[in-house]
Copies of this chain bind each other. A is one copy, B any other.
Amino acid sequence: MERVDIAIIGTGPAGVSAALTAANRNKSILLVGSRDMSEKVVKAHEIRNYPGLPSVKGTEMAAAFRNQLEAMGIRITEGRVGAVYAMGDYFALQIGEEMPEAKAVILATGVVTAKPLPGEKEMLGRGVSYCATCDAPLYRGKETIVVGFSPREEAEAAFLSEVCSKVTYFPVYSEETNLPEKVAVIREKVTGIEQKDGKRIVRTEAGEYAADGVFVLREAVAPDTLVPGLETNGAHVAVDREMRTNLPGVFAAGDLTGLPYQYVKAAGEGNVAAISAAVYLDTKKKEDK
């Protein structure tokens, strides 16, 4: 896979805006997200203050963005970025088993508003994982539990059920599940995760469930988990007015950078981040000569 100029992570208004502007600046891009666009956008009943799209439904905004990307020849790479590694001169993105490379990165993943589950942070990498595609091989023939925060996570649980001896799924949402029969669905409020007797234990309001591995799957992961070394303020990435983070070559835009959580604010920041990334690349190129 060729090394692109700018990897853009997220397909909400910030990511879409960054992609449009980066493409306009003749930068090669890798736009990682979902062809369903941002779940938050799609779920919006009506957006009344986005200039240019009067009283638009979330689904209409998502369709408008998708069509605009297509018209510009910008492809969405379906996937979830598990981690971004700074490799000195470039960045490597872990997307499932792929490791595409980029010279600069724009984080537009949205914000994680939910607090982590008790025990989740402590056990991350020790029996708790955020990426089924990445870590499924560790649990071949073993038992796993999936805590899914949106219906989109069901695909991951279904995939795990092909590999694991048993998969138990806890939906943290009200929609009906649509999962293979092999996956046991339990609707109980998850209250925490812990270690016990060499097993991972998921506690709920009603009981305890043991497994070899636990997957906690959300649309967005905490930014400092995604990019080691990233400076954050709580759930937000620290940025300046140019959308630069503390890491050279890493920019952020949208809800991830802080309040207000507004569509046009996110789109504006995506634009600024793309221009800052382009300037960063152009300056670097000159310096390298």
Residues of A that sit less than 8 Å from B by CB: 13, 16-17, 20-21, 23-24, 48-56, 61, 64-65, 67-68, 71-72, 239, 241, 257-260, 262, 264-272, 275
Contact = CB atoms under 8 A, between A and B. Distances in A.
A52 B67 CA distance: 9
B17 A51 contact: yes
Given A17-B51, A241-B241, A265 B258 contact: no
Given A267-B268, A271-B268, A262 B21 contact: yes
Contacts of A52: 50, 52-53, 56, 61, 64-65, 68, 267
Contacts of A53: 52-53
Given A61-B52, A64-B52, A271 B275 contact: no
A137 B288 CA distance: 62
17 contacts: A16-B51, A17-B51, A20-B51, A21-B262, A24-B49, A51-B270, A52-B65, A52-B267, A54-B68, A241-B241, A241-B257, A260-B271, A262-B268, A264-B264, A265-B271, A268-B268, A268-B271
